[in-house]
Amino acid sequence: MIGIFDSGVGGMTVARAIEQLLPDLPYVYFGDLAHSPYGSKSPEMLIEYACRNTDFLLKQGAKIIVIACNSAASAASGALAARYSLPLIDVISPAVQAAARLSQNSRIGLIGTRATVNSGVYATRLQEIRPDCRIFSQACPLLVPLVEEGWLDRRETKTIVRSYLRPLRNRQIDTLILGCTHYPLLTGIIGPRIGKRVRIVSSSGEVARHLKELLDARPSLYAALRAPGLANRYYVSDLPAPVGSLAAAIFGRPVHLEKVNV
């Protein structure tokens, strides 16, 4: 079984992408809505939350962990790798690799939470694989709360997105990384406001493809993750009113969310 965690509903876009690409592999999802958003938390708190979330998923039977949260991945990937011996996948490296491959003018934009942007992890990993590229980052602290409230097509959201993207348009980027798993839900707003010539990289789809490549290369792990007849499960640490409808919109079907204390 695959374990996936995020600060809220954004990681469900990763779960959905994995479900579509690897439909025979069950997963357990945990959204830490009681502590969302993660983007404003300190690195120390993010490491604590990430370890707590991972422990919960392991108890549910997970044999591989997907960190479906950029804020947690930027602060806690190293700590998790040092603490746990099972395979870990974060949302950062697959997105960076895709952006480096797609960019033609070597000018890449990044939007994310403050924690993600301040960590500098995207720029570091980009330099490792394509030193000629520059990354221009923009923190967007208001977007996660807007998504969690279900304001996906509100005039206010469009105005805020336009304001956040303006500095990146001025940098003449040709590729934009959505550095938060909530942001794919705003692609319909982001796309027209960043410009049709800018390629958008969604970490959700890239993570699913990366996971498939990993499992194709490790058939024994693939076999260990299979559990025929086992249904996907969805847990949250809090259950605000808009979450159920957002989950249904992401998966295209009603999703049973079980509230747990973690």
Structural domain tally of the chain? 2
39 is an annotated ligand-binding site residue = yes
189 and 110 within one domain: yes
Is 182 part of any known ligand binding site?
A: yes
181 belongs to an annotated ligand binding site: yes
Average pLDDT of the segment spanning 125-149: 93
CATH number at residue 210: 3.40.50.1860
Please indicate, yes or no, whether residues 191 and 210 belong to a single structural domain of this protein.
no
Q: Is 7 annotated as a binding residue?
A: yes
Q: Are residues 129 and 26 in the same domain?
A: no
**Which token pair is 7?**
């600060």
- Asked whether residue 226 carries a pLDDT value surpassing 90, the answer given is no
Residues 233, 192 within the same domain? no
Q: Are residues 97 and 134 in the same domain?
A: yes
Percentage of the chain modeled with pLDDT above 90: 80
CB 110 within 8 A of CB 135: yes
Domain extent at residue 72 = 2-90+205-259
- The catalytic residues are 69, 180
Q: Is the pLDDT of residue 242 over 90?
A: no
Single out the residue in 203, 233, 251 at which a domain terminates: 203
Same domain (yes/no): 251, 241: yes
Q: For the whole model, what pTM was predicted?
A: 0.88
Rounded CA-CA distance 151/190 in Å is: 14
According to the model, what pLDDT value does residue 54 have?
Answer: 98
Residue 88 in this model has a pLDDT that exceeds 90: yes
- pLDDT confidence of 99, banded at 50, 70, 90? very high
Last residue of a domain, one of 203, 223, 246: 203
186, 203, 220 - which closes a domain:
203
Instruction: Tell me the C-alpha distance between 177 and 158, whole Å.
Output: 18
Confidence of residue 101 (pLDDT cuts 50, 70, 90): very high
Retrieve residue 214's tokens.
Answer: 């990993």
Instruction: Quickly tell me which residue has 């959204």 as its tokens.
Output: 31
Question: What is the CB neighbour count within 10 angstroms for residue 136?
Answer: 17
Q: Is-contact 126 133, C-beta < 8 A?
A: yes
115 with 198, same domain: the answer is yes
* Model confidence at 95: pLDDT above 90: yes
Asked whether the predicted pLDDT for residue 39 surpasses 90, the reply is: no
Same domain, 160 and 32: no
Query: DSSP H helical segments within the chain, as ranges?
Result: 12-21, 43-59, 70-83, 92-102, 114-119, 121-129, 143-148, 155-170, 187-194, 203-217, 219-225, 243-251
